[in-house]
Amino acid sequence: MDDAERDRRGPASFSARQSRPQPVSRRIAIPRWEVPSDPTGWLVNFILLVVLCTVLMGLAAAALRQWRSTAPSTPSVIVAGAPLPKVLPSPERAAARSLVETTEALEREAREKAQREAEERREAAYQARLAEEDAARRTLALEARREREWAAYYKRPDFCEQETDSVNCANDFIRQRRAFEEQFAARNRGG
């Protein structure tokens, strides 16, 4: 059955298969505002952006000019080493020069003080490092002397050579070590 014949018969002649509704597409339709092949779309947007920025900058500049004209003026700072204006009367020029010289002297004193303090900190750190190194050397020398004296002091008893029970030997070692430590501490406390 072709389309022309179906149109003549009317809607009653459709079969059940043909009368079923078609499924709805689940794809999201994304609107297109411009055609990607159109080169003028981005150009127009760019030109509009430039015009908008220019207008905003002009408004900001006008507002800044108006604000600066109404803002209270502050006296300018005299820069050290800069020539003084010739329009100042002599007493004012002398006062300004005195102010600059005083400021320079204070800055110089502050720099010298900071240098002295830094040098003192470096010297103190150096002295502390020397003291730590000396203390470490003395501690190592004392430990070496202690071990030498212990080796000379401790004599293993004869029964430890023959006895298989090592508890008595361990107890003897501990007693002799304690006695040696007390004697060593007493000798080194006074010296």
Q: What percent of the chain has pLDDT over 70?
A: 70
Comparing 21-30, 69-78, 116-125, the range with the smallest average pLDDT is 69-78
Phi-psi region of 50 (alpha: psi -120 to 50; beta: other; left: phi over 0): alpha
Element (H, E) at 139: helix 90-153
CA distance 170 to 6: 117
Element (H, E) at 50: helix 40-70
pLDDT at site 61: 92
pLDDT at site 41: 73
Domain residue limits, the chain: 89-144, 154-191
Phi-psi region of 72 (alpha: psi -120 to 50; beta: other; left: phi over 0): beta
Q: What's the pLDDT tens digit per position in 112-169?
A: 999 999 999 999 999 999 999 999 999 999 999 999 998 888 888 887 877 666 888 8
The dihedral sign for the CA sequence 150, 153, 157, 161: positive
CA neighbours closer than 13 Å in the CB half-sphere of residue 1: 10
Does residue 50 register a pLDDT over 80? Answer: yes
CA distance 171 to 163: 13
Q: What's the pLDDT tens digit per position in 54-65?
A: 999 999 999 988
Let me know how many helices (H) and strands (E) the chain has, helices first: 6, 0
| pTM assigned to the model | 0.38
pLDDT at site 15: 55
How far, in whole angstroms, is CA 119 from its chain's centroid? 28
More confident residue, 42 or 6: 42
